[in-house]
């Protein structure tokens, strides 16, 4: 299948490109490189440096490359940044999706897999989070993704042959098992890379944002899904789509780990000291988020395989030891 991956130079996008190529698909990798890393895109993919908000150019790619499916990852994903600069997120995330959908509508492509987020749920009243849980985002990042979901639903109503999937997931962690890909954000805010960089001396300390949440140990609880499980789920869902489908799935391991549990697991992996300090809560951080992923298991047979958090941290630790500054190394 000819597949366009947007945000292909990002953490998840680059792993998706790798997995799609391994599965025998032809991949066109699109990224504007504003936050991604060109070196992370496999040489076997056809790279196009382009902003997804350029509708005419995206349409040209869809037509010229005979694209049959789009995997749409291109987005900004810092909750704190979205609170400080909400219009940036509506412009890039929501506007980018609108541009892409306009291009898809005018093309022959009729299959879309959308990278959404658990942030669309806000602060649910109960756990685990199911697909039917009310979506009430509490930050602009989550809202920008929810608006994107709504636009995709509208296009699916307009085009009977269009098939799409909205995949909502939680904290993504780990790296490619063969060591060819890693995780590099600038700035880095994901907990596990921050901890590993502190253990390597790349950063001074780990700051725990709040220890007074209504959780057993006072720190936030999240569902950590391994990036390779995540992209395998995207491929499984893509292959299951049939004309007219609108599928909504949560992707996760079905349980949460607290920040303190992650710190303890990291200590057991790295076996070296690192400094931890407690800071104030971050705006827009719900106390607990973890998924009920039973629907995707029931309907297409996908289930996370890499659920041991220590093993996930260990995979990242191997990469960071040789890439302490990320892809800059």
Q: Give me the active site residues, please.
A: 141
Backbone angles phi, psi at 26, to 5 degrees: -95, 130
Cβ atoms < 10 Å from Cβ of 183: 27
d(CA 130, CA 173): 21
CB 307, CB 266: distance < 8 Å: no
CB 294, CB 302: distance < 8 Å: no
d(CA 237, CA 232): 9
CB 3, CB 67: distance < 8 Å: yes
The residues that bridge with 173 in the sheet, in sequence order, are 226
Report CA dihedral (48, 51, 54, 59) to the nearest 10 degrees: 30
Cα–chain center distance at 278? 26
Strand ranges (E), 40-194: 46-49, 69-72, 111-117, 163-169, 171-173
Which one, of 58, 42, 56, 51, lies nearest residue 74 by Cα?
51
Vertex 261 angle, CA 196 and 228, to 5°: 60
CB 172, CB 183: distance < 8 Å: no
The residues that bridge with 226 in the sheet, in sequence order, are 173
Which one, of 246, 258, 242, lies nearest residue 290 by Cα?
258
d(CA 328, CA 12): 18
Burial 295-309 (b: 16+ CB within 10 A, else e): bbeeebebbbebbeb
């Amino acid at each position: 299948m000819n597949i366009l991956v947007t945000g292909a130079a990002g953490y998840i996008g680059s792993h998706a490109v790798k997995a799609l190529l391994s599965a025998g698909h032809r991949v066109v990798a699109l990224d504007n490189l504003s936050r991604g890393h060109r070196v992370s895109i496999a040489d076997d993919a056809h790279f196009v440096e382009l902003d997804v908000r350029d509708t005419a150019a995206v349409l040209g790619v869809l037509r010229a490359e005979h694209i049959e499916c789009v995997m749409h990852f291109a987005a900004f994903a810092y909750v704190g940044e979205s609170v400080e600069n909400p219009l940036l997120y509506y412009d890039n995330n929501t506007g980018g999706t609108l541009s892409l959908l306009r291009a898809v509508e005018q093309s022959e492509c009729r299959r879309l897999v959308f990278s959404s987020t658990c942030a669309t749920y806000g602060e649910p009243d109960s756990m685990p989070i199911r697909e039917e849980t009310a979506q009430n985002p509490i930050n602009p990042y989550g809202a920008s993704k929810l608006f994107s979901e709504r636009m995709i639903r509208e296009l699916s109503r307009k085009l009977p042959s269009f098939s799409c999937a909205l995949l909502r997931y939680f904290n993504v962690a780990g790296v490619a098992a063969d060591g060819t890909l890693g995780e590099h954000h600038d700035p880095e805010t994901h907990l596990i890379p921050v901890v590993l960089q502190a253990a390597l001396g790349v950063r001074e300390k780990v700051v725990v944002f709040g220890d007074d949440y209504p959780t057993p140990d006072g720190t936030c609880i999240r569902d950590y899904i391994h990036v390779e499980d995540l992209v395998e789920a995207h491929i499984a869902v893509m292959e299951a789509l049939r004309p007219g489908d609108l599928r909504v799935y949560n992707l996760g391991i079905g349980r949460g780990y607290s920040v303190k549990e992650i710190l303890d697991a990291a200590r057991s992996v790295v076996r070296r000291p690192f400094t931890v300090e407690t800071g104030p809560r971050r705006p827009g951080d719900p106390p607990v988020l973890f998924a009920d992923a039973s629907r995707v298991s029931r309907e297409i047979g996908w289930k996370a395989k890499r659920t041991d958090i220590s093993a996930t941290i260990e995979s990242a630790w191997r990469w960071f030891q040789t890439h302490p500054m990320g892809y800059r190394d």
